[in-house]
Chains A and B, each alone.
Chain A
């Protein structure tokens, strides 16, 4: 499982791994979408959303990316199933998200936080971080 949910007293602690930065960012996004429990429409309208960001480092880039996606999930009821990264550097990201418009969400996420987030590569070459969501 590229993402899993761990114990946290009040919020949600997610551990996410990937074999590349792209994989890590993708699965962090999908983990967040799954946490929101989208209520799929029978015939969901397909949507595309472009996100372009810069940040001081890769960890901030990931958290800012998730928070930007969260805005559109909340305001336009979008749930993402695909993501293509046109650029994904240490401090810059350009992505195109695909998914569908949903009826609503079963759970709320207020924000992805920087607390405990630390994107890094372990000796086996796996990219990983922990993310705490305020729910």
Chain B
């Protein structure tokens, strides 16, 4: 349990671990939480990991953790850190293995009442259209230059291949394409792992969820996003699959070998890093951007598979499913902030954290069977959190303990009693994602809302959950 004697309350939702906490900290660490949630925050090694982040060269302001934080490896999940572009580092472990894991929200032309009798069909059809689980490939199997074009162009390449409409790209973070991607810096191992994974969901906590707008908190903002009470929505949660995992593995391995050349010594080698401006730093950044583009192409293709599934169930005349927004929550980006009165370019690492620029939709999926949120980024995010918000509810219980406390059958029964349809390939995986294994999403989102990072726009409730 973390020693809370040494932390300081900044606001009712923001806490600081001062530099004096440990000699090697270069900046203080700050984390967002209600006082009542502190026992959960301190229950695992998340804060210890956050303090480790505060020791990294070139870190600016604070090492930050969002209210959904929990223990990771290297950086905590829910971690945000910004490093000076000239003198700071880049760390693959600060982005995570699933590069550009993220969430996309679609809105449909249906009201909840119109589809309630078709939920089983919808769940089954999406399950069959969107390959999920370990090792189940997608319908696109690209090679050579065709594969590299995806790494270079991201979601745009899917449009060129006929998957999607121009309008989709206008509602994706960075337009679904990062400009600095270099496919040649992605290893053959990584490309081989990703070769047939476009348009696939994967396993673990990834999902497609059909839901509806249960509550609207901000009518004007909801209207701007074309979201209405009772409207049916679809959330897609997946990332760069095996390709991104391998890019991270390759470069963490490389950085462990070379960081000593840069005089970098760390408390945890999973924090392996090199100067951003170094050859290896620039190469990782280019490979990471290629993996991020792969993830956006993946969510674009999954979107088309969901559209096809809706047409299969409701006919060709089904109103178009439109993209509300698509956000990355495992990524590094060069952004500019005012730090101590000076405008500065920094490399922002978000590991289980969502960009929350003013006016930008922020998508926060809850745990299976509970609510998800649509928020809108606020000005304060630029001042206090390097334009970042939380990314989900955040686990609070290990997978093994979750499995001990429930079974897939019991969980199905529970969710079914709430009118939620489940399609899952893995019984074990289903039990591991039990709602009680996560923090309360309402509490987590309230912290973000109260901190002024992002404001609540709408709450979504699930109707059908499709998992690997």
Binding site for B on A (CB under 8 A): 5, 7-12, 36-37, 55-56, 60, 64, 67, 71, 74-75, 77, 104-108, 110-111, 113-117, 132, 134-135
Interface residues of B in 130-146 (CB under 8 A from A): 133-136
* A110 touching B245 in the complex, CB below 8 Å, given contacts A9-B44, A12-B399, A134-B97: yes
* A115 touching B97 in the complex, CB below 8 Å, given contacts A8-B71, A75-B192, A107-B203: no
Which A-chain residue is minimally distant from B190 (CB atoms)?
A71
Of A7, A74, A104, A132, the contact of B73 (CB 8 Å cutoff): A132
Q: How many positions in chain B have a CB within 8 Å of any CB in the partner chain?
A: 46
What string of 1s and 0s marks CB contacts (under 8 Å) between B415-449 and chain A? 00000000000101100000000000000000000
Which B-chain residue is minimally distant from A8 (CB atoms)?
B398
Of B98, B270, B401, the contact of A114 (CB 8 Å cutoff): B270
Of A8, A56, A71, A104, the contact of B134 (CB 8 Å cutoff): A104
Which A-chain residue is minimally distant from B245 (CB atoms)?
A110
| A113 partner residues in chain B, CB cutoff 8 A | 73-74, 93, 252, 270
In angstroms, Cα B428 to Cα A5, docked, is: 15
Is there a chain A Cβ closer than 8 Å to B412's Cβ? Answer: no
Interface SS, A side: loop
Is there a chain A Cβ closer than 8 Å to B77's Cβ? Answer: yes
* A114 touching B134 in the complex, CB below 8 Å, given contacts A75-B193, A107-B429: no
Known contacts A9-B398, A71-B193, A111-B249, then 19 further A-B pairs from the complex at CB < 8 Å, ordered by chain A residue: A8-B44, A8-B71, A10-B77, A11-B72, A12-B399, A37-B428, A56-B256, A74-B242, A75-B192, A77-B135, A106-B428, A108-B134, A108-B203, A110-B248, A113-B270, A114-B268, A115-B74, A116-B268, A135-B204
Is there a chain A Cβ closer than 8 Å to B9's Cβ? Answer: no
| A71 partner residues in chain B, CB cutoff 8 A | 189, 192-193, 246
In angstroms, Cα B272 to Cα A74, docked, is: 25
In angstroms, Cα B254 to Cα A56, docked, is: 10
Interchain CB contact under 8 A, B134 and A36: yes
Interchain CB contact under 8 A, B98 and A110: yes
Which A-chain residue is minimally distant from B269 (CB atoms)?
A114
In angstroms, Cα B203 to Cα A105, docked, is: 11
Interface centre among B135, B189, B426 (most CB of A within 10 A): B135
| A74 partner residues in chain B, CB cutoff 8 A | 134-135, 193, 242
10 A-B pairs (CB sep. < 8 Å): A9-B395, A60-B256, A71-B246, A108-B202, A108-B468, A114-B252, A114-B269, A114-B270, A115-B73, A115-B269
| A9 partner residues in chain B, CB cutoff 8 A | 44, 46, 70-71, 395-398
Interchain CB contact under 8 A, A114 and B135: no
* A5 touching B268 in the complex, CB below 8 Å, given contacts A105-B134, A107-B426, A108-B202: no
Which A-chain residue is minimally distant from B96 (CB atoms)?
A134
Is there a chain A Cβ closer than 8 Å to B257's Cβ? Answer: yes
| B39 partner residues in chain A, CB cutoff 8 A | none
Which B-chain residue is minimally distant from A113 (CB atoms)?
B73
In angstroms, Cα B428 to Cα A36, docked, is: 12
Is there a chain A Cβ closer than 8 Å to B226's Cβ? Answer: no
| B253 partner residues in chain A, CB cutoff 8 A | 60, 64, 67
